[in-house]
């Protein structure tokens, strides 16, 4: 099908409302659009640069966890949570203000869900089964946990508005969901059609969000799907690209472009928007990784040299704070197997050198922040 002839689907009348049923997408697609092809080439090249650069960085998995944490806070924020990355980096619920704990739990669930899904790709392809397993983790013990965790919906949902009567958009009836998701899964894995990967995941994300297969958590799951696709199809060796920041920055455009596909069949503008997102996000990822390497080199080869005999311990402590940029003295004491006086001393040295900042002002249970590093993800 030529992309110019794309038809998004049809509205069907159900008792009291009209729901949108998207067309099946597991078919051959002819792009034939010069603007899309140009943006696709730029996005593909930049994604390749990010992937190549990531493979040259030692201990890349340490930095990826910061990417995952940022993605979690941003993707959840799109859905209305208010947890900041500083809070997301805290390991203990007791350190979070009571009124913020529900949001914090949702972000922690997202981190857990992403890490689980990436690891699960070793044994399970991107599929309805994997998305269900991930969704179950995403909504466990948080708001929405009573909404069929890990199962496709069996009742009608809607987007925007207080009810079906004033909804902004009503996805397909639940009876349509199994076939639509089955078609989406086939499309994702269909190697007989010549659709470039980045266009395929752009279409897959649109289709997933239009189907809205779960009662809750569709936005977060759909954004997880993007990274899972890129990793599973070897466009990325490591999960180093996440589009939620781009979507949040252009939130109105994100929602408008998705809706214009449904209402105006304008899939071209959606794909163009998605390609720009890939290119910009990949470039930002490269810039961030370069800055991390510069910070690491500066701290290891200049800043800590004044510590003399403590340099070997300081290097171990630097490795620790890159892995855990918000911590207590007890954390580094346990993490590096140090005595309490030694742990206190090295933390005090890092504070004097400007590497760490203490944010609480407490005399006990103080929290130390590696702000220069965290700032790259704020």
Q: State the pLDDT at residue 57.
A: 85
Res 98: pLDDT:
85
pLDDT per residue over 105-131, tens digit each? 999 999 999 999 999 999 999 999 999
Q: What is the DSSP string of 57-90?
A: STTHHHHHHHHHHHHHHHHHHHTT----HHHHT-
The residues near 325 (Cβ < 8 Å, ≥ 6 apart) are 66, 89, 369, 370, 373, 374
Choose the most confident range, by mean pLDDT, from 81-95, 135-149, 323-337.
Answer: 323-337
| The pLDDT of residue 146 is above 80 | no
Q: What is the pLDDT of residue 116?
A: 97
pLDDT digits (tens, 9 = 90+) for 238-280: 999 999 999 999 999 999 999 999 999 999 999 999 999 999 9
The arithmetic mean of pLDDT across residues 152-174, rounded, is 95
Q: For the chain, give the number of residues.
A: 378
Amino acid 48: pLDDT:
97
CATH classification of 3-289, choosing from 3.90.1300.10, 1.10.3290.10, 3.20.20.80, 3.30.70.20?
A: 1.10.3290.10
Percentage of the chain beyond pLDDT 90 is 87
Stretch 28-43: mean pLDDT, rounded? Answer: 96
- Residue 226, classified by CB atoms within 10 Å of its CB into exposed (0-12), middle (13-18) or buried (19+), is buried
Residue 339 confidence (pLDDT): 97
Chain CA centroid to CA 64, Å: 11
Q: What is the rounded average pLDDT of the residues 22-34?
A: 95
SS3 257: helix
What is the C-alpha to C-alpha distance for residues 51 and 30, in angstroms, rounded to an integer?
27
Three-state DSSP class for 19? strand
Q: Does residue 299 carry a pLDDT above 90?
A: yes
| Token output for 299 | 């701290």
Could you tell me if 322 and 370 are in contact, meaning their C-beta atoms sit under 8 angstroms apart? yes
pLDDT (0 to 100) of residue 144: 60
Compute the distance between CA of residue 103 and CA of residue 80 in angstroms, rounded to an integer.
9
CATH class in words for 303-377: mainly alpha
What's residue 269's pLDDT? 98
pLDDT of amino acid 145: 59
Question: What pLDDT shows up at residue 252?
Answer: 97
pLDDT at 223 over 70: yes
Instruction: Decide if pLDDT at 231 tops 80.
Output: yes
Structural domain spans, the chain: 3-289, 303-377
Token reading at 86: 């500083």
Give CA–CA dist 258/113, Å, rounded: 25
Please state the separation of Cα 7 from the chain's center in Å. Answer: 29
Distance CA 250, CA 233 (A): 27
Does the structure show a pLDDT above 80 at 87? Answer: yes
Q: Give the residue among 239, 237, 236, 246 at the shortest CA–CA distance from 278.
A: 246
Same fold across 3-289 and 303-377 = no
Distance (Å, whole) CA 82 – CA 107: 10
Residues 6 or more apart whose Cβ sits within 8 Å of residue 359: 367, 368, 369
CA distance 285 to 277: 12
Instruction: Kindly provide the b/e burial profile for residues 89-115, where b requires at least 16 CB atoms within 10 angstroms of the residue's own CB.
Output: bbeeeeebeeeeeebbbbbbbbbbbbb
Minimal CA–CA distance to 225: which of 208, 213, 238? 208
CB of 180 within 8 A of CB of 188?
no
> Is the pTM of the predicted complex or chain greater than 0.85?
yes
The mean per-residue pLDDT over the stretch 94-110 comes to 88
Residue 56 predicted with pLDDT over 90: no
Task: Specify the 3-state DSSP secondary structure of 239.
Answer: coil
């Amino acid at each position: 099908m030529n992309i110019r002839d794309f038809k998004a689907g049809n509205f069907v009348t159900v008792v009291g409302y009209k729901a949108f049923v998207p067309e099946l997408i597991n078919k051959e697609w002819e792009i034939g659009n010069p603007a899309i092809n140009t943006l696709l080439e730029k996005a593909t090249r930049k994604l390749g640069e990010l992937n190549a650069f990531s493979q040259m960085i030692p201990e890349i998995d340490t930095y990826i966890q910061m990417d995952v944490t940022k993605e979690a806070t941003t993707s959840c924020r799109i859905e209305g949570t208010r947890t900041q990355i500083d809070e997301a980096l805290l390991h203990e619920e007791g350190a979070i203000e009571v009124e913020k704990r529900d949001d914090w739990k949702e972000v922690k669930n997202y981190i857990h869900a992403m890490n689980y899904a990436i690891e699960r790709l070793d044994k399970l392809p991107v599929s309805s089964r994997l998305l269900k397993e991930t969704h179950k983790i995403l909504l466990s013990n948080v708001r929405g946990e009573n909404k069929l965790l890990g199962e496709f919906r069996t009742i009608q949902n809607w987007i925007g508005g207080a009810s079906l009567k004033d909804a902004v958009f009503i996805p397909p009836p639940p009876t349509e969901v199994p076939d639509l998701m089955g078609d989406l899964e086939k499309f994702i894995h269909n190697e007989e059609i010549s659709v470039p990967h980045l266009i395929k995941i752009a279409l897959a994300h649109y289709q997933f969000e239009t189907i809205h297969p779960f009662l809750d958590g569709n936005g977060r799951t759909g954004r997880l799907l993007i990274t899972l696709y890129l990793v599973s199809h070897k466009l990325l060796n490591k999960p180093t690209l996440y589009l939620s920041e781009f979507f949040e920055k252009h939130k109105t455009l994100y929602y408008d472009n998705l809706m214009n596909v449904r209402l105006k069949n304008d899939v071209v503008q959606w794909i163009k928007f998605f390609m720009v997102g890939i290119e910009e996000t990949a470039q930002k990822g490269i810039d961030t990784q370069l800055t991390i390497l510069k910070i690491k080199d500066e701290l290891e080869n200049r800043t800590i040299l004044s510590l003399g005999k403590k340099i070997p311990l300081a290097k171990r402590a630097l490795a620790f704070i890159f892995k855990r940029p918000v911590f207590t003295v007890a954390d580094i004491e346990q993490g590096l197997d140090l005595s309490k006086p030694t742990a206190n001393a090295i933390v005090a040295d890092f504070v004097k050198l400007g590497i760490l900042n203490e944010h609480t002002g407490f005399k006990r249970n103080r929290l130390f922040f590696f702000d220069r590093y965290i700032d790259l993800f704020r």
